[in-house]
Every structure is written in C-alpha cells, then in structure tokens.
C-alpha cells in the first residue's frame, strides 16, 4: 500500500488492520482513534465491564485512501474552504463520501474482520462506531461528528457499515467542525469500533463533573429505558440524578412513554412503554450511587473528568464509552485541601483570552498580589476576604463595579461554602478609614506624574540596548521594580480615588437633588490627559493625510501579511508612511490583549490598523478628530452649566452648586489620567518584548530553539535558564503550545471555586423587557442600528451608525469608537475601558451581557438601552 502522508509504498501486516480491545491502550490513538483508544483503556480497569469488541485500524482506512488517488485534489480544495461556505462543503464532501462508500473492500481486509467477528460471536449483534483520530481528545471532543450504527447483524452488514463509518469522516457537520477547530482533513484518519451489542434495561450518560456548573465534586447521571439512542435523539426526557459524597442529593424522574430497543434482524425501533412503567425511575438511588462510584474510578484512571456512556444489563453496569469533558474550565490547584473562591483577573483587566506562559509570568511579576493560574488565565483567591468581618465593604465595592461578580460571590456566601478565617488571622482587606483624602483639582499633579513616567520610559529605552544574554534578563528583572514603583505610586492612587469618588458623589447627589441619572456620562466627555481617547482621535488625523491620495488608498486595500514596505514608493506614500510611523511611535506598543507580553503589538503588525484607517478615510471628512473632541468638550460644558442653574433654584442652592462645581472640576481634571498607568506599563512591556525577541532570534540561530515564538511558552524564569544554559526542554514547549490551543477555546468564569464550579452571577432588577439581553448600563442613551459582531479588531468592517458587539474591549479598540453608534460587550464594568471611553465619546453602552456575541447575529438590527442596561433584538 501507499502511505498517504509520505507517498512512500509500505507493507502493512494484516494483523495490524484489526486490533482486539485487550491489545489497545491510549498510546494506540493514531491507529484506533479516540473512541477505540478509550475503549481499550476502559477494558483494562479493574471492575469496569466493557462489551467485547475490536477496532478496524486507521491502516485499513489508509488502504482505502491509497486506492482512491482522485481524493487528493478534493481534500486540498476542502481544506481551503471557509467553514461558513455550506454549499461548497456539501458538494465536495458528498463526492468524497460517494467515492469511499463505493470502494470495494479488499478481500484480505474482509477476511481479517470476519475472523475477529467469529472470535467474539458471529451470530451476535454489533454496534459499529466511527473512531476518528481527531476525536475524544482533551482539547476537543468532536463528539457526534461521525456515524454510529446499532444492532448490526451478520458479517456482510458489519462490513458494509465499516465502509459507511469511513465515509462519515466527511459528513458536512464533521468537515465544518474540523475547519472551525483547525484540523487538516488530509491528516484526519478513521478507525472503526466493532463492539458486541447488549440488551439494556436502561442506558444513559454520566458526567463526573457537573456539566452546567463544572463542580468536580458532583456527579450528574441521566438515564432512559432501553437503548441510549432515545436520550441522544431527544426522543424522551431523561431521569436525572445528582450524586455528591456518596448520596443522591437531587433527583428528577421524567415520564418516559417511549423507548428505543433492538429490532429483530437488525437496527433499532421505537416502542411504547407500558403506562405503569412510564413514571418508574430508570435507576434506583443505590444504582445511581454505584454508577457514580464507577465513574470516579474511570476518572481516576484517565486523570480528568469524564463523559461516560453506560448500560444497565441484568443489574450490572456495562461501560460502552468514556471521553474527556472538554468544556470544563480547569480549577486552580490548592494544596491545603480547603475550599477556595477565586476572582477572575481577566474580567477586571478586560482580557479574558488565554495568556501565554510568558505573559502569565510577566503579569505576575508586575503585580505584587499572589495569583493562581487556571486555563491560561489568572485568578485571585478572595476566600480570606469573604470569610472576614470586612467582607460587606468588599462586596459593595465589587457590586458598584460589576453586579454579576458580586451576585456570584453572594451565592457562595449564602450557601455557606466559605470557610471562616482561623482565629487571629488577618484577611487581605483594604485598611479601615476608607479612601485617601481627596485631592484638589490641580492639573499640575497629573502633568508631573505623566512627565515622570515618560522620563523613566526614555531611560529604559536607552539603557536596555546595552544588555543581552543572561545580563538582559537580569536587567529586566531589576527594571520591574521601577515599573511597580510607577504603577503603585500613592499619588497615582489618590488621583484615581479622587476621580472615582467624584463620579460616585455626582451620581448620588444629582439623583437625590435633581432626579438626574448618570450625569457624569456627559461631564466626562473630552477630558484632558486621556491617552486612550486621544489615540482613537489621532488615527483620524492619519486618515486625513491619506485621504487625498487615491494611490495610497488602493495600495492599502491590497495589503497582505503586514507588508507595508512598498508604501513610500506610491504617489503620496511618503507622507502616508510618515504619518503612520508617527502614530506607531506614539501608540505602536498597543494591541488587543496587551497585558499579555506575547501578543503582537501594532508596531509589529501595522496592517492591523489598515481596515480602521480605510474606514476613517471613507466615513469621515478632514478635521474630524479635533471637531469631535471640541464637540465633546462643549457637551460637557453645557451639561455642567445646566446642572448648576438647576441647583441654584433649590433651597441652599448656592452651596449645592459650589460643591458640585468642585466635584466636576475634580472629575474632569483627574479621570483622564486613569488610562495612563496602563499605557505606561504596556509601553515598558513593548520594550521588554523587543529585547527578548532579539534574544530569541539568537537562540534560534544557535539551534537552541526551533522558532522565536517558542519563548512564549516558557515562563520568565525558565527563559532566563535557557538563555544561561543554552538548553531547552522542547517537549515541554510543545505540550504547552498544545495546551494553549485548548485553553483558547474555553470561556473563563467571573468566579471560580477550588471544586471547579464556575459561577456567572445574575442581574437582579425589574422592568426589563422579557426577551431582552440584560447587562450593566454604563453610558446613557438609546440607539437602534445594525449590530456588527466583531471578535478580531483587525477585521472590523464598520460604518457610521453601526453598533459594536464584542467579547471585551481594551484600549486597543479605541480607534473603533469614533465610528460606532453604541457598544455591547460580554465583559465589562462601570469603570472599565469600554465604559469609560463610551461615556467620553457619548455612546450608549451596555456591558456584561452574557453570550452577546453568540445570541446576537452579525448585521442583525438591535436596540441598545444604555440607560436601563439591556439590548433588544429587533425584527
């Protein structure tokens, strides 16, 4: 035969075309696929009973492909398709299925399969099940993507269904799933499991962790009468059992009026269930507890939570499949055995994507607070705070910022999960006495802080060039002290707290005195010293330079792979190049997910800005940036004047007006500086990264690393050792790279417990339309428009009037805000980036809308109510 990967002729021993279960373990996944490997492993676990069977290996499938050389071109075309191109996927996959389904099975292969059937029992009925190599993996289950055939009777029928399983590797759903998960069709292989059928009294699934809450201490069982197909197909509702600590703690018994059972002669059929049996539990509590214990044994063998298929036959359980539960978010590791509650750092930093190991370690070097890692994200253990007498103040502060997080924490407290702090222990609670004394509205302090930060950054840029090798890593470690000094400067903290206290004061007093809601929305427009808002407006200035030059616009439309080298040669290109270079000199350290030092900066990939620049060229006229800033300042001035005039008509109005004036001055003087410390931090990160990138290139030249990207999968201290020793654990890098891909597919929770339970929280308020998507109101106003669901800023194709719907925004999204009419995000709070910039630009905004990017379709018409905090999907 021919090896389809290498094109080299090889001879495969016939004995390898079929493997019995007892010959298989997890190391054989390349030959028997995920399902087959797990069945082989299950058959080795003491006390776990698996119906007998065997696997037709991927070598046999390779024989089929080798006999169909015409498939190579179709596979190539299939790999190039967009996963949303359903017509093309359907046409090409149908051609491939027809070719495989019509391929005559070689005689020697048919003989080997028939011989294995005779060993198990030729007259028995079988389940013939697809087992792809990209299936039942820790990072993606691919469950249900290929076909399974039940109660297949007779050797000829088994052989036909083996061929059907091979063809099912190219069903439309399987092809689309692989495209979305980045799996190359040319590398996917199909084995086939042939397993003796049993006639069960009941069947179902067992999850060794709660599939909804992710709690690892809870086992969830679903059961139906007869075969499990009734459950999989949704034919009947299942009985459900929740088992914890060896007891059933919750049970729901469904009415089961139908069951699926094996039909005489092959296949399955629906049968009515006798009326007196319809409300009978499919399992007793004792059986559910025994099944849960069996699940724990299987979980311990595989080392991770499992999704297990089972059958009950004559009072004994038979296990017919087990696969990893790929949707669970990993739990932080706690060595003390106590219960812990963790708060997501990413939800506070507007970066809920997975971070690289280098990014995680650099962030932890940046902040002095201890953190735990899980799923490529960082979490803070807040158990001591929740167990302390001062927790009410902490919860109030959290609630003002993010009601969902506060509600999730309150849930943990209300059910008594928090372990009281030991006697005499001191919790990490903010000191008594409240915030520091507010500052007077002195712009000189802000200017002094910014000037000091710029001087420090210039010194770093100058000095870091003199270092390389281990000395460079030592230099960066030392510079972290300066970074932390600037970030945690007490004067900066007083500026923040003064601005935030002024915002809260104005909100409460304007509501109480004037019935005015969210007056700060208008008052914070076009404030000074907001580097993030300035960055968004500055890109409009770049567009002003480019707009008069159609050749430059045409060049930018054709840019691919960040190649802007030819820009200066285009008429008008030199001016455009200089304007873009000046912008990158000021803001090129920014990027989406910028708290991860491993993310590519705009200075590395300037083409990420091209769609935004072209949008500005088309949608705005010259001078739009200064005009927008002036208009915002005028709105704030008029709002202040209106408030003060209304206050002066009240009893004791002059005093109220004077106090309000002082608070508005504090707010406008200091709120813009809130964005600067993070800007300063990512500016340092960019310098660190450029230096580390140079070091990585030297390691590649010396043959230590395969690729400079490998440093992203080393922690900072590990990279230090590699630079010093010139040796690296390449296997560790590959494992972390694979784990990172899996982490990227996970959604982190706001609150996570050490049991693995993920808590999202809920909004508790009335007056919201029934079908509305509820969130947090952070910027007033109501807008209707076209939703643009954008997950990657570099692909944002926005027009004026569009409503941006995305997972989160960090400062790198600011250039988008000048185009949109409103903002909807899945993550956010009152004082996070998107909320602050939306208020400054006067855009209605609702943040913290769970599942917004999934529930709202791109280009759908929606209404955003930024006053009351909800989104309506319109007809």
State the catalytic residues.
833
**Strand pairing report for 247-252 and 258-262:** unpaired
- Give the whole-angstrom CA distance, residue 751 versus residue 347: 10
Handedness of CA 221, 224, 229, 232 (dihedral sign): negative
- Give the whole-angstrom CA distance, residue 374 versus residue 387: 23
- Give the whole-angstrom CA distance, residue 178 versus residue 163: 21
Encoding tokens for residue 668? Answer: 């406008």
Encoding tokens for residue 723? Answer: 């630079």
- Give the whole-angstrom CA distance, residue 266 versus residue 486: 74
> Is residue 750 within 8 Å of 341, Cβ to Cβ?
no
- Give the whole-angstrom CA distance, residue 271 versus residue 268: 10
| 688 CA to centre of own chain | 26
Q: Beta partners for 788? A: 804
Q: Report the 10 Å Cβ neighbour count for 427.
A: 16
- Give the whole-angstrom CA distance, residue 259 versus residue 229: 9
Encoding tokens for residue 788? Answer: 């643009």
> Is residue 823 within 8 Å of 804, Cβ to Cβ?
yes
Q: Tokens 């201490």 correspond to what residue? A: 217
- H helices of 57-151, in order, are 58-66, 71-79, 86-101, 107-120
> Is residue 146 within 8 Å of 168, Cβ to Cβ?
yes
The contacts of residue 333 (CB under 8 Å, 6+ apart) are 372, 374
Question: Could you give the angle at the alpha carbon of 614 between the alpha carbons of 610 and 620, nearest 5°?
Answer: 140
The contacts of residue 264 (CB under 8 Å, 6+ apart) are none
> Is residue 556 within 8 Å of 534, Cβ to Cβ?
no
- Give the whole-angstrom CA distance, residue 698 versus residue 708: 9
User: CA–CA distance from 65 to each of 61, 103, 167 (Å)?
Assistant: 7, 9, 11
Encoding tokens for residue 598? Answer: 């491993």
SS3 assignment for 516-573: CCCCHHHHCCCCCCCHHHHHHHHHHHHHHHHCCCHHHHHHHHCCCCCCCCCHHHCCCH
End-to-end Cα spacing for the chain: 58
Q: What is the DSSP letter of 170?
A: G
Length of the chain: 875
- Give the whole-angstrom CA distance, residue 300 versus residue 317: 18
Q: Beta partners for 192? A: 56, 130
Exposure letters 480-511 (e unless 16+ CB within 10 A, then b):
eeebeebbeeeebebbbbbbbbbbebbbebbe
User: CA–CA distance from 649 to each of 520, 635, 638 (Å)?
Assistant: 21, 22, 17
Query: Whose CA is closest to 840, among 776, 778, 769, 761?
Result: 778
Query: Dihedral (C-alpha) 88, 89, 90, 91: value to the nearest 10 degrees?
Result: 50
- Give the whole-angstrom CA distance, residue 721 versus residue 717: 6
SS3 assignment for 4-27: CCCCCECCCCHHHCEEEHHHCCHH
Reduced to 3 states (helix: H, G, I; strand: E, B; else coil), residue 805 is strand
Q: What is the DSSP letter of 830?
A: T
């Amino acid at each position: 035969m021919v090896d389809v990967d290498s094109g080299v002729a090889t001879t495969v021993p016939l004995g390898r075309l079929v493997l019995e279960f007892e010959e298989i373990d997890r190391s054989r996944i390349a030959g028997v696929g995920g399902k087959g490997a797990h069945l082989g492993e299950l058959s080795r676990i003491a006390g776990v009973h698996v119906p007998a069977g065997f696997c037709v290996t991927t070598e046999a499938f390779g024989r089929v492909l080798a006999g169909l050389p015409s498939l190579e071109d179709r596979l190539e075309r299939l790999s190039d398709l967009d996963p949303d191109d359903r017509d093309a996927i359907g046409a090409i996959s149908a051609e491939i299925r027809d070719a495989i389904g019509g391929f005559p099975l070689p005689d020697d292969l048919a003989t080997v399969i028939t011989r294995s059937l005779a060993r198990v029992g030729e007259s028995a009925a079988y389940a013939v099940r697809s087992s792809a190599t990209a299936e039942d993996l820790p990072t993606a289950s691919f469950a249900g993507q290929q076909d399974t055939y039940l109660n297949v009777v007779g050797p000829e029928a088994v052989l036909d269904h083996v061929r059907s399983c091979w063809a099912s590797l190219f069903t439309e759903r399987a092809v689309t799933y692989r495209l979305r998960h980045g799996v190359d069709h040319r590398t996917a292989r199909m084995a086939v499991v042939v397993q003796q059928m049993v006639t069960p009294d009941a069947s179902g699934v067992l999850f060794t962790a709660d599939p909804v809450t992710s709690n690892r201490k809870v086992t969830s069982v679903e059961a139906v009468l007869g075969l499990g197909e009734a459950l999989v197909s949704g034919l009947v509702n299942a009985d459900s059992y929740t088992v914890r600590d060896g007891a059933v703690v919750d049970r729901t018994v469904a009415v089961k009026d139908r069951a699926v059972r094996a039909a005489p002669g092959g296949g399955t059929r629906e049968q009515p269930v006798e009326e007196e049996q319809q409300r009978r539990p499919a399992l007793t509590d004792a059986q559910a507890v025994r099944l849960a214990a069996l699940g724990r044994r299987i979980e311990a063998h595989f080392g991770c939570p499992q999704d297990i298929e089972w059958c009950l036959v004559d009072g004994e359980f038979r296990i017919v499949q087990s696969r990893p539960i790929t949707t669970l978010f990993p739990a932080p590791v706690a060595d003390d055995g106590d219960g812990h509650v963790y708060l997501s750092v990413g939800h506070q930093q507007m970066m809920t994507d997975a971070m690289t190991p280098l990014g995680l370690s650099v962030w932890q070097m940046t902040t002095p607070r201890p953190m735990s890692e899980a799923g490529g994200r960082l979490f803070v253990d807040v158990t001591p705070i929740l167990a302390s007498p001062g927790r009410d103040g902490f919860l109030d502060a959290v609630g003002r910022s993010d009601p969902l997080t506060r509600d999730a924490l309150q849930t943990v407290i209300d059910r008594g999960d928090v372990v009281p702090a030991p006697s005499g222990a001191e919790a990490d609670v903010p000191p008594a006495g409240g915030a520091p004394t507010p500052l007077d509205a002195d712009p000189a302090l802000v200017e002094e802080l910014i000037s000091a930060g710029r001087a420090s950054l210039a010194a770093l840029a100058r000095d870091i060039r003199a270092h390389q090798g281990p000395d460079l890593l030592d230099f960066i470690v030392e510079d972290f002290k300066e970074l932390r000094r600037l970030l945690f400067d007490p004067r900066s903290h007083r500026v923040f707290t003064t601005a935030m206290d002024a915002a809260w004061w104005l909100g409460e007093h304007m509501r109480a005195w004037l019935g005015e809601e969210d007056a700060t929305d208008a008052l914070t427009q076009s404030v000074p010293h907001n580097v993030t808002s300035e960055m968004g407006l500055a890109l409009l200035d770049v567009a002003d330079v480019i707009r008069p030059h159609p050749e430059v616009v045409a060049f930018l439309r054709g840019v691919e792979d960040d190649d802007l080298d030819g820009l200066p040669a285009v008429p008008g290109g030199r001016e455009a190049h200089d304007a873009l270079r000046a912008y990158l000199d000021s803001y090129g350290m920014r990027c989406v997910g910028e708290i991860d030092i491993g993310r590519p900066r705009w200075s590395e990939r300037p083409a990420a800005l091209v769609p935004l620049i072209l949008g500005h060229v088309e949608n705005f006229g010259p001078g739009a940036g200064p005009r927008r800033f002036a208009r915002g300042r005028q709105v704030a001035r008029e709002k202040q004047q209106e408030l003060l005039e209304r206050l002066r008509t009240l009893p004791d109005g002059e005093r109220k007006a004077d106090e309000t004036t002082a608070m508005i001055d504090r707010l406008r003087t200091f709120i813009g500086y809130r964005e600067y410390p993070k800007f300063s931090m990512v500016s340092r990160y960019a310098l660190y990264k450029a230096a580390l990138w140079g070091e990585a290139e030297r390691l590649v030249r010396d043959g230590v690393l395969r690729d400079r990207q490998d440093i992203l999968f080393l922690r900072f201290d590990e990279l230090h050792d590699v630079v010093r020793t010139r040796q690296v654990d390449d296997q560790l890098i590959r494992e972390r790279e694979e784990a990172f891909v899996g982490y990227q597919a996970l959604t982190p929770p706001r609150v996570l417990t050490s049991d693995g339970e993920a808590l999202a929280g809920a909004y508790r308020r009335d007056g919201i339309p029934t079908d509305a998507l509820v969130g947090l109101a952070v910027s007033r106003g109501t807008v209707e428009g076209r939703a643009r669901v954008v997950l990657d800023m570099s692909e944002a194709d926005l027009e004026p009037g569009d409503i941006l719907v995305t997972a989160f925004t960090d400062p790198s999204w600011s250039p988008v805000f000048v185009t949109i009419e409103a903002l909807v995000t899945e993550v956010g709070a009152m004082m996070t980036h998107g909320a602050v910039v939306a208020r400054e630009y006067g855009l209605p905004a609702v943040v913290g809308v769970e599942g917004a990017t999934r529930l709202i379709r791109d280009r759908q018409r929606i209404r955003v109510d930024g006053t009351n905090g909800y989104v309506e999907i319109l007809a």
